[in-house]
């Protein structure tokens, strides 16, 4: 179903180019880096953009691969991860609609610093990285936007690290669910987990068994109901109080 954020598209084959200029433009406008550019400034990106669709499981690129393209996510989810020397996978981030993927490689000698995999079918816009690098050099507004984007990205990670130190496992799961809640709705929310629970556990730094136990505690403490991927939340305020306690006004003011 079309949710109103982007025009409806057909279901193309994996990786097939589905060139829709209006769709590409709306995807670009949905990314914070491009949202404040003028029509003239964004035109070169729109003209170079290719809209593509990839199915769950597709590896978009691997760590240390040459970064020929960067991507704006129109819908779906992408996992960023590192692989240790022992072969263990470490989830770095989970990105969805409006986020960019691979853009920071223009500051990293043109190579990706992590790997990217599709975890829920995605539609995205791909743009040559060389174009972004050239435009950052020529356009001060875009350059400042890149710096602001990187600053917000690092601040978000610092906040998450700080919270992970202070919070127990049920609270971290509650915080994940809060980030899925629409800010304008406070009661009787029904939402769906965007990807499987094993990956959610990994993203939150937990083993699957720990995640299951913590989920049971969260149910008991907040009365949320989870069946498969469906989550029902009667009171956001109750969930916020459990997750953040006295720090709620700092970390979740939009839900109060």
> Where are the domains positioned within the chain?
21-163, 167-255
Contacts of 196 (CB under 8 A, 6+ apart): 119
Q: What is the pLDDT of residue 119?
A: 95
> Which residue stretches of the chain have pLDDT < 70?
1-21, 255-256
Q: What is the pLDDT of residue 17?
A: 45
Encode pLDDT of 160-218 as tens digits: 777 778 899 999 999 999 989 887 788 899 999 999 999 999 989 899 999 999 999 99
Q: What is the pLDDT of residue 20?
A: 61
- Structure tokens belonging to residue 77: 């989810």
Superfamily of domain 21-163: Jelly Rolls (2.60.120.10)
Q: What is the pLDDT of residue 21?
A: 67
Q: What is the pLDDT of residue 155?
A: 85
3-state helix/strand/coil string of the chain? CCCCCCCCCCCCCCCCECCCHHHHHHHHHCCHHHHCCCHHHHHHHHHHCEEEEECCCCEEECCCCECCEEEEEEEEEEEEEEECCCCCEEEEEEECCCCEECHHHHHCCCECCCEEEEEEEEEEEEEEHHHHHHHHHHCHHHHHHHHHHHHHHHHHHHHHHHHHHHCCHHHHHHHHHHHHCCCCCCEEEEEECCCCHHHHHHHCCCCHHHHHHHHHHHHHHHCCEEECCEEEEEEHHHHHHHHHHHHHHHHCHHHC
CATH of 167-255, one of 1.10.275.30, 3.40.50.1100, 3.60.70.12, 1.10.10.10: 1.10.10.10
Intrachain domains 21-163 and 167-255 with the same fold? no
Q: What is the pLDDT of residue 58?
A: 97
């Amino acid at each position: 179903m079309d949710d109103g954020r982007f025009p409806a598209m057909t279901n193309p084959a994996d990786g097939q180019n589905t060139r829709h200029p209006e769709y590409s433009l709306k995807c670009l406008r949905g990314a914070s880096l491009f949202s404040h550019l003028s029509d003239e400034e964004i035109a070169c990106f729109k003209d170079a953009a290719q809209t593509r669709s990839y199915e769950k499981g597709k590896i978009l690129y691997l760590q240390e691969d040459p970064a020929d393209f960067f991507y704006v996510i129109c819908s779906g989810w992408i996992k960023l991860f590192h692989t240790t020397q022992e072969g263990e996978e470490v989830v770095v981030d989970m990105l969805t609609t409006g986020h960019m993927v691979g853009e920071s490689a223009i500051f990293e000698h043109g190579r990706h610093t992590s790997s990217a995999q599709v975890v829920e079918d995605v539609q995205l816009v791909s743009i040559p990285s060389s174009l972004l690098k050239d435009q950052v050099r020529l356009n001060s507004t875009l350059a400042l936007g890149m710096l602001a984007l990187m600053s917000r990205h690092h601040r978000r990670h610092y906040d998450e690290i700080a919270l992970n130190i202070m919070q127990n496992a049920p609270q971290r799961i509650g915080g994940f669910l809060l980030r899925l809640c629409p800010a304008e709705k406070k009661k009787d929310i029904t939402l769906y987990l965007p990807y499987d629970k094993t990956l959610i556990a990994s993203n939150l730094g937990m083993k699957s068994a720990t995640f299951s136990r913590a989920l049971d505690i969260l149910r008991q403490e907040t009365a949320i109901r989870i069946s498969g991927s469906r989550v029902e939340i009667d009171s956001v305020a109750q969930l916020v109080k459990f997750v953040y306690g006295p720090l709620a006004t700092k970390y979740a003011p939009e839900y109060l």
